[in-house]
Structure 1
Amino acid sequence: MSFQVKVLPAKLHFTVENNETILQAALRQGIDFPYRCQQGVCTSCVCKLRAGSVHYVPPSPLTELDQQQAFVYCCLAYADSDLELHHPFIRG
């Protein structure tokens, strides 16, 4: 099963499969998505979740504050639905 991802304000659209992270899907489709460590440490790929839901293979990298602010670590997050994300530095 696949889901659609929209990244604002860049108005980017791409598809994520259920066996890949959001970052893996973006890179596979040639999207210039910011990342470094791919382990949830550097926070380069962190987006704000505007709509939809994601899950992580335990343990989750999210702190309580991250959860309250609806942050998504795209290098570790798997989509559970269509998503709308916000990342101020991604260009379309």
Structure 2
Amino acid sequence: MTHLVTIAPAQLSFAVHEGETVLEAALRNGIDFPNRCRQGVCTSCVCKLTSGEVRYAEPQPLTELDKQQQFTYCCLAYPCTDLVLHHPFIRG
């Protein structure tokens, strides 16, 4: 199954394949997506989830505060639905 991810405000869209993280798909599509550690520690890939749903492999990387603020760790996030994410530094 493939899900469509749109990054606002740049309005970049790309497909994420089954078993692929949001970050992996973005890089595969040539998008200059901020990332460093790819382990959910550095937070450079964190986006705000505007719509849709993601899942994570255990252990769950999000704190309660992350969940309340709708943060998505794109290096670890697998889309369950189409997504709209917000990252102010990603440009089209």
The normalised TM-score by structure 1 is: 0.99
Aligned to 1:3: 3
2:53 matches 1:53: yes
Separation of aligned partners in 2, 1:38 and 1:79 = 16
Aligned to 2:21: 21
Matches of residues 27-66 of structure 1 in structure 2 within 5 Å? 27-66=27-66
What is the deviation of 1:18?
Answer: 1.5
Q: How many residues end up aligned between the 2 structures?
A: 92
Structure 1, unmatched stretches of 5+, are: none
Structure 2, unmatched stretches of 5+, are: none
| 1:13-56 alpha-carbon deviations (Å, 9 max, x no partner) | 00001210000000011110000000000000000000000000
Instruction: Give the 3-state SS of the residue equivalent to 2:14 in structure 1.
Output: strand
Separation of aligned partners in 2, 1:78 and 1:13 = 16
Percent of aligned positions that are identical? 66
Runs of 4+ in 1 over 6 A off after TM superposition: none
* Cα RMSD after superposing both structures: 0.4
